[in-house]
Structure 1
Amino acid sequence: MKSLKIITITTCLTITSWVFAQKKTTTAVRIDEKVTIDGILDEKVWNDVPEAGNFVMFEPDNGKLEDPLKKTIVKVLYDDEALYIGAMLYDNPENIMREIALRDNFRTAEHFGAYINGFNDGQQDFRFFVSAAGTQLDCIATQDGEDYSWDGIWYSNVKITDEGWVVEMKIPYAAIRFSGEGEQLWGLNFYREVRQNRQRFFWNPVDRNIGSEIVQTGELKGIKNIKPPTRLFFIPYSSVYYSDNEEGSETTVKAGMDIKYGINDSFTLDAILVPDFGQAAFDEVILNLGPFEQQFNENRPFFTEGTDIFNKGELLYTRRIGGRPSGRVSVTENEEITEAPNTVNLINALKVSGRTSKGLGIGVMNAVTEKTYATIKNNTDGTTRREVVEPLANYNVLVLDQRFRKNSSVSFINTNVTRNGNFRDANVSGLNYNLNTKANTYNLWGDLQYSYINDVTDKSGFNSLTGFAKTSGKYRYELSGRYVSEDFDINDMGIIFRTNYYNFFGSASYRILNPIKHYNTFTIATNMYSEFNNQTGKLQNGYAEVSVRTTTRQNDFIRYTLRAKPLQLYDFYEPRVSGRYVTFPRSIFGSIFLSTNYNRKFALDISPEVWLSDEYNRNSYGLYVSPRYRFNDRLQLIYEFDYDYDTNNIGWIDFVDDDIIFTRRDRTTITNSLSGKYSVSNTMTINLTARHYWTYGENHEFSTLEDNGELTENTSYTKNQDFTYNNWNLDLSYTWWFAAGSQLSFLYRNNAVGNFDYVNRNYTKNIDHLFKNNLNSIFSLSLRYFIDYNSAKNWL
């Protein structure tokens, strides 16, 4: 019996090794006949085509062969215009999940995907997905992840049959990149998700022990004598906005154009003329009492589409472009500022990006913002004057990223901001390296970055990181360290919060690579972190953490986290004065996060957390609850409730002469959000997003910060620092993709902000006051139309 068990285990290991060792190949067949993209593979040209099959599970049971009753068969055709893919995905049609969603949203549905690399170099995939409901999804994928903000122009259709479902895709050559060689050899993989069982499969096996999907592809042969088309696209747009508030109403009309041009097989130029970002998602603003600015997501399409190469080194924060003015207004005693712009208008922007056949990625981005003024009124004689708060400014990014061995890279990054006149200029350069062994077992990474600021007082600084990790197998570990000088500053075009420190980080983890009795996935990790001030050597931050991440056999996700800060810490940032610090006590933090399987009509995310310090009654409690309900394949609603309560929170409040004043306060924050979508079809959706953020704080006592970091009671400070702050946003939108790349969208938006110097714990009164006095409403209609030069020349 023992011998039989050994033989069985040995056989399984041998089969698994063989599965991952093979590199599959399929052949495309040239056609002259027309193929109708209707989800029905009834044209004769599909009959005598090589089949790509025998898919292998990626997760949860990595390496397991597909169920013969749920097999997948894929065929590939091509002509002078496009690549055609037909896939038959066998299953019981009653089990096929097909929630309807708008483009690039996976939702709860089955999916089929094609991963195409026209250079077969393991550097960049163009990935095209279709859901069982017909929703299109696409992205550009690199070693650094997937960019779904990219939208290609391609065609697809699906049909549900008695044996499962069928996908038919037409991918024009303009949507991908490949060389001009007479005979092509492309990297290729096919993907299938069986949503009901939360199983994911690949045609060419992908070993989770290695982790990198992009280098584990098969190959597509047979494509000959095709030419890369002219990639020239125009996207003209026109928008109209009507805004209304207590100060009056206004109508604005805008028009402009985006241009995309393929310079050659590899490089693309993107440009925007007269940009319009009026329908970008709203920012989730909070009342920020900390020493650092709030960081916002980038929601403007131009700065999110195809920008993966520009994110190397994390030196670019595109919200700086067209963000707050950099200058300050100087006023006399009898003057007041009557108009202070919060943002600067973007005049135009362009970017050029791509990668050569030798693996060299090149990215250049440039943007110009206009000269901006503030208006100041003289209260004595009533005259007004204007003062420049931001001059004409040029923002530029250059990235050179050399990849080699399909899994390693060295990058050079430079960001530069040049402002006209006697305003601040900035230049930042960085050298990054990310080196992996051939088998993707070990990783060495790091950077060296240098900043130079040309201002009233010029300054320069540097930042350096190095790390080493074992990145494969059940047992993994990581060690890293960073040094940041005091004057390192990237905030003109990037974002950085803390400087003047050095740190050490270490982690070790264990994970299962295949399901066990109770879990599909299981990972336990320990982390240790320490951070020291450069000048004093004092410990700014330090913790030890244990976390467990699991997915049950029912596909419910659970995470447990316990973090301890066992030593007294010294905060050099909260005092807002260089060299000063405040002490913080030892503490412990714990949280649990549960996310139930989204396949169910009703699902729930819930996360309680608690932070306890060894200082009496200085604690924090939080609860996040988010139920979601899918009424049918068209309608879904998601509610989010986030509650935080800080007791005896200590923080900076004011300066009085040379004294730094701190306060001890109780603070409550409640955020309610509601989002929903109704899909009329897979090209037409109505979306709702609403958010109310409410926070209030009551100050109990004030203190003066001493040179040793301790706080002493201050009885002379009597300013009222209590607060209540409300922020409300609502977006109701209708979106219709009426043609490939063309979109009609209507948006109703209202927002309101309320800020009071007293504590109001009554939710109803807060809402009532907010809506009566501060509500702004905007109606907008936007039309974007996609024009392909290859089609337009035939019109002409």
Structure 2
Amino acid sequence: MKFTAVFVVLFICFSSNVFTQTEQAVKVPKRIYTTKRLIKTPVIDGKINEGAWDAVEWSSDFTEKNPDEGTPPAYQTKFKVMYDKKFLYVAIRAFDDEPELIQQRLSRRDGFQGDRVNVIIDSYHDKRTAFVFTTTAAGVKGEEIVSQNGNNWDASWNPIWYTNAAVDDKGYTIEMKIPFSQLRFGKAKEQIWGFNINRTIFRLQERSLWQRIPNNQAGFISESGELHGLKNLVSQKQLEIQPFTVLQYDKYPAEPGNPFRDGSDLTLNAGLDAKIGITNDLTLDLTINPDFGQVEADPGAIALDGFQIFFREQRPFFVENFNIFDFEFANGQDNVFYSRRIGRNPHRSASLQDGEFADVPQNSTILGAAKFSGKTKNGWSIGVLESVTANEYATIRQTDGTEREQIVEPLTNFFVARAQKDFNKRNSFIGGIFTATNRFLNGDFNELHKAAYTGGVDFQHNWKNREYYLDGNVVFSKVLGSEEAITATQKTLRHNFQRVDADYLSLDETKTSLTGTGGRLELGKNGGGNWRYSGGAIWRSPELELNDVGFLRQTDEIIQFGNLNYLWQVPTETYRNINIGFEQFSIYDFGGNLNRIGLEGKGEISWINNWWTEGGYGINTNFFDNFFLRGGPRWKRPNTAFAYLFFGSDRSKLFSFTLGYSNRHSQESVVGRDRFVVRTNYQPTDAFSMSFNVEYANLFDRTQYVTETAFNNDARYILGRIQNQTLTTTLRLNYSFTPDISLQFYGQPFISKGKFSNLNYVLNPLGNSINDRIAVYDETQILLTDDAIAIDANNDGVQDFNLPNGGYLVDENRDGDADYAFRNPDFSFVQLQTNLVARWEYIPGSELFLVWARGSVGNTDTDTDLLNSVSDQVFREPANDTFLVKFTYRFAR
């Protein structure tokens, strides 16, 4: 407590001192390129050999951005820009005295491999967002939407545009033809757009910019040059309709007697996606019965702490333009909007009688969804999303062949509205978000919330040439439901209102709603000179609840944090740049208890040969956990330290690698973890690339939570020493026949094995020593058996413990009678996920997918080693196979 207070005082004093210092900043004049209307239309073949380009002048004089900022690049670049009624045309000449060394790496769209050029267009001219069009020397195209003034680059955007490239004896050339319908701009008679061009020489890992942006300058899009001369542009409202058809065949091991699992299924599906330009600024996206069959499977994961695992969104409709709806309000992955709640797996499973079988849908059907989004010339960023998922039913077939239906998920409506407004010459913004989830329960599903609402406000203010900033947000939540539903929410691990020692919390089983708040406030410096620093606070109140359409890991936290970094940005003969940092945080609960103090020092070095190294060391002291006993009392964890070291080779080489090691260890050897990471990338030809990643972790914890039971009418919290080994292996193979035809393979075996020993129970959760906190069962108290266990501990005719597959019998008081029992917590989980995807973009925006996916999930003997377990799962266990053909055609105007 004293340490935290001292640190905060020192941090404020240091911040005030630096704020008053005058730092020498490089003043870079704003460059302007004035375009003209074309006279003739060029052919987009990448060669720039037609007289049509003579209508405008070349511009050059690029400046190196990395590694030696402010100096001339190894080879110069020049470009031209012109336009007509419907298109913007860009020609680029990238000089190179060694054209045979130009990296012409083929990849799928958005691969961003090899030598390339990015054209950056801030057509809103809001100095925070931009559209980026990329073409590589091999002619591969890529596109991104940039937000947060260059801090967020979203490659999910796939507009229709045209490009080509050609390599010659002077280097390579690129031509682009960009429809105005794919951009967003205002109605001024003469447009002024932010504009920049970035060139990457891959073998040198060198970037150069047309508009110089010093490395100590905060912001990227705001510092772009300007494109002038765009006169009398007519709004080109976007209209795109993309129907799709999917033929899918599933083959899987048949289940004897189960009519729904006879070994194979054949389905035909169809749907529609559409983009409609409401104005030149705002677009409506629609989807009807969307299909996500070609989406890659989620990676394997095991949560030993009981908290929910975050998986990234991969479905195209929700990924595209997600930056508009994004509202990360605290730290980590907590977000007011988590789109994977839409179309989730049903909340209920089928309730079956003997001899019955059920066909249960894996996901809720998305009947339809619509997004209205864009940014106006007045600085308004707007996003509205509406989606409806269907009532889902399990079909249950009885032994006599009759069928019945049982509802497993109610009809649900999801609504999200997001807005931001720029002001103060685009140096500041204020925004808000509102979400609503409404379920049509029809007198059923008392365990679910009937409605959930969240609202939030966020803001940011930058000053002194964007070097300093103040930003923050506040969120409010309210969920409504039956007493059963709200009681269940209070008892979830992320809330733990039933904690026995929390006098500031109380479980109220009569409540029908919960209301909570959360947020973040941060002040800092992110540009100018060599120093960067920030400090602030984060909070999540105990009643905050977002998980109907958001993501919230846990509540009841108040976090104070501070960060301090020093940067060396001028290359020497040894390194390109260095970043050394220090972080500090302290965590309190809403009862005023100090639950942790954390300190970490870390550093990153980019060496002159393009290798890199990063490492760090940190400690956690005064460590208490309100959630560890999952409703039990506050638990004291041992002081813990961690260290990590990673280094990697030059990514521009045909073969590159990353090696890493991290370690965690604690006082009294209560916890220990070693993690090893090997990542490799190899590109033997321009058309073929492969990556092979291996991650192995070995964890032991003498106090891993197992279960809660009762002894002599008191709660008994059972723990044990776990030896948990996890192995993840990921292989990716990519072959590109052309920039529009590719073949990709993905395979990931995953295994996590946990073996328990030294089972014990909690004596004093706040004891100073591990021996004060737990008592280990001896041989006379505990017995592992495979036989069925049924115990009437209270002699009232009711079986208090019923374990048909056996488990542990415990005679804690050694009187010869079992006092309680619990299941064997050992586990060995194995998962295999693979897919092979052939993709052909036969015309811009229209695609044909051929997909083969194979997956299996199993449990192996905990005594079998990891490699043999994986081998058995890959080569011996029966798997589910899916063969899919998806055809899309995009009608565009």
Amino acid in structure 2 at the alignment position of 1:562: Y
1:51 counterpart SS class: coil
Q: 1:179 aligns with which of 140, 164, 186?
A: 186
Task: Encode CA deviations 1:103-144: one digit per residue, 9 max, x unaligned.
Answer: 11112x111121112232313211101001111011111225
Output aligned runs, 1:476-625, within 5 Å. Answer: 476-535=532-591, 537-539=593-595, 541-565=596-620, 567-577=621-631, 580-616=633-669, 618-625=671-678
Q: 2:107 aligns with which of 101, 105, 112?
A: 101
User: What is the CA-CA distance between 1:468 and the residue it aligns to?
Assistant: 0.6
Q: Distance in 1 between matches of 2:515 and 2:467?
A: 37
Aligned to 2:842: 738
Q: Is the 8 A contact 2:126 2:426 kept in 1?
A: yes
Q: Is the 8 A contact 2:679 2:693 kept in 1?
A: yes
Q: Distance in 2 between matches of 1:365 and 1:331?
A: 37
Q: Is the 8 A contact 2:534 2:564 kept in 1?
A: yes
Q: 1:413 aligns with which of 408, 429, 433?
A: 433
Amino acid in structure 1 at the alignment position of 2:436: N
Q: Distance in 2 between matches of 1:757 and 1:690?
A: 23
Q: Is the 8 A contact 1:564 1:589 kept in 2?
A: yes
1:548 counterpart SS class: strand
Q: Distance in 2 between matches of 1:603 and 1:461?
A: 48
Determine if the alignment matches structure 1 residue 29 to structure 2 residue 82.
Answer: no
Q: Distance in 1 between matches of 2:650 and 2:351?
A: 57
Q: Is the 8 A contact 1:54 1:66 kept in 2?
A: no
Aligned to 1:298: 313
Aligned to 2:77: 72
Q: Is the 8 A contact 2:662 2:676 kept in 1?
A: yes
Change (3 A) 1:54 1:483: same
Output aligned runs, 1:649-728, within 5 Å. Answer: 649-657=702-710, 658-706=715-763, 708-709=765-766, 710-714=773-777, 715=781, 716=810, 717=821, 719-728=823-832
Q: Is the 8 A contact 1:335 1:376 kept in 2?
A: no
User: What is the CA-CA distance between 1:45 and the residue it aligns to?
Assistant: 2.5
Amino acid in structure 1 at the alignment position of 2:522: G
2:313 counterpart SS class: coil
2:327 counterpart SS class: helix
Q: Is the 8 A contact 2:109 2:140 kept in 1?
A: yes
2:231 counterpart SS class: coil
1:466 counterpart SS class: strand
Amino acid in structure 2 at the alignment position of 1:235: Q
Aligned to 1:455: 481
1:763 counterpart SS class: helix
Determine if the alignment matches structure 1 residue 135 to structure 2 residue 188.
Answer: no
Q: Distance in 2 between matches of 1:649 and 1:133?
A: 55
The 10-residue stretch of structure 1 (471-480 or 367-376) with the greater mean CA deviation from structure 2: 367-376
Q: Is the 8 A contact 2:749 2:874 kept in 1?
A: no
Q: Is the 8 A contact 1:574 1:651 kept in 2?
A: no
Aligned to 1:263: 278
Determine if the alignment matches structure 1 residue 254 to structure 2 residue 264.
Answer: no
Aligned to 1:207: 214
Task: Encode CA deviations 1:366-405: one digit per residue, 9 max, x unaligned.
Answer: 11101123467899x9987644332100001011111223
In the superposition, the TM-score normalised over structure 2's length comes to 0.82
Task: Encode CA deviations 1:18-68: one digit per residue, 9 max, x unaligned.
Answer: 7x421111121212322100112122122352222111112222222334x
1:768 counterpart SS class: helix
Q: Distance in 2 between matches of 1:221 and 1:569?
A: 59
User: What is the CA-CA distance between 1:417 and the residue it aligns to?
Assistant: 0.4
Output aligned runs, 1:150-299, within 5 Å. Answer: 150-247=157-254, 248-299=263-314
Determine if the alignment matches structure 1 residue 55 to structure 2 residue 62.
Answer: yes
2:871 counterpart SS class: helix
Q: Distance in 1 between matches of 2:871 and 2:402?
A: 39
1:205 counterpart SS class: coil
1:701 counterpart SS class: strand
Amino acid in structure 1 at the alignment position of 2:235: P
Amino acid in structure 2 at the alignment position of 1:468: L
1:47 counterpart SS class: helix
Q: Is the 8 A contact 2:181 2:280 kept in 1?
A: no
Q: Distance in 2 between matches of 1:764 and 1:141?
A: 46
Q: Is the 8 A contact 1:743 1:784 kept in 2?
A: yes
Q: Is the 8 A contact 1:255 1:274 kept in 2?
A: yes
Amino acid in structure 2 at the alignment position of 1:301: P
Change (3 A) 1:651 1:341: farther
Aligned to 1:395: 414
Determine if the alignment matches structure 1 residue 348 to structure 2 residue 348.
Answer: no
Q: Distance in 1 between matches of 2:402 and 2:667?
A: 58
Amino acid in structure 1 at the alignment position of 2:658: D
Q: Is the 8 A contact 1:697 1:759 kept in 2?
A: no
Identical residues among aligned pairs (%): 27
1:676 counterpart SS class: strand
Q: Distance in 2 between matches of 1:32 and 1:400?
A: 41
Amino acid in structure 2 at the alignment position of 1:695: S
Q: Is the 8 A contact 1:753 1:774 kept in 2?
A: no
Q: Distance in 2 between matches of 1:634 and 1:729?
A: 25
Change (3 A) 1:682 1:516: same
Q: Distance in 2 between matches of 1:500 and 1:753?
A: 36
Amino acid in structure 2 at the alignment position of 1:103: R
Q: Is the 8 A contact 1:83 1:172 kept in 2?
A: yes
Change (3 A) 1:644 1:187: same
User: What is the CA-CA distance between 1:603 and the residue it aligns to?
Assistant: 1.1
Amino acid in structure 2 at the alignment position of 1:319: R
Task: Encode CA deviations 1:479-509: one digit per residue, 9 max, x unaligned.
Answer: 1112211110101111111211111111111
Change (3 A) 1:571 1:49: same
Aligned to 1:13: none
Q: Distance in 2 between matches of 1:335 and 1:664?
A: 40
Q: Is the 8 A contact 1:726 1:753 kept in 2?
A: yes
Aligned to 1:3: none
Amino acid in structure 2 at the alignment position of 1:737: E
1:283 counterpart SS class: coil
Aligned to 1:321: 342
Q: Is the 8 A contact 2:122 2:221 kept in 1?
A: no
Q: Distance in 2 between matches of 1:786 and 1:353?
A: 20
Task: Encode CA deviations 1:523-570: one digit per residue, 9 max, x unaligned.
Answer: 00000111122225041x3321010101000111110111112x2411
User: What is the CA-CA distance between 1:336 and the residue it aligns to?
Assistant: 8.2
Aligned to 1:626: 679
Q: Distance in 2 between matches of 1:602 and 1:66?
A: 25
User: What is the CA-CA distance between 1:464 and the residue it aligns to?
Assistant: 2.6
Determine if the alignment matches structure 1 residue 119 to structure 2 residue 145.
Answer: no
Q: Distance in 2 between matches of 1:115 and 1:719?
A: 59
Q: Is the 8 A contact 1:696 1:759 kept in 2?
A: no
In the superposition, the TM-score normalised over structure 1's length comes to 0.92
Aligned to 1:4: none
Change (3 A) 1:185 1:718: closer
Q: Distance in 2 between matches of 1:378 and 1:96?
A: 67
Change (3 A) 1:192 1:528: same
Q: Distance in 2 between matches of 1:605 and 1:310?
A: 34
Amino acid in structure 2 at the alignment position of 1:462: T
Task: Encode CA deviations 1:606-664: one digit per residue, 9 max, x unaligned.
Answer: 10111111123631111111222211111111111111111235322223244332221
Q: Distance in 2 between matches of 1:730 and 1:647?
A: 30
Give the aligned length.
765
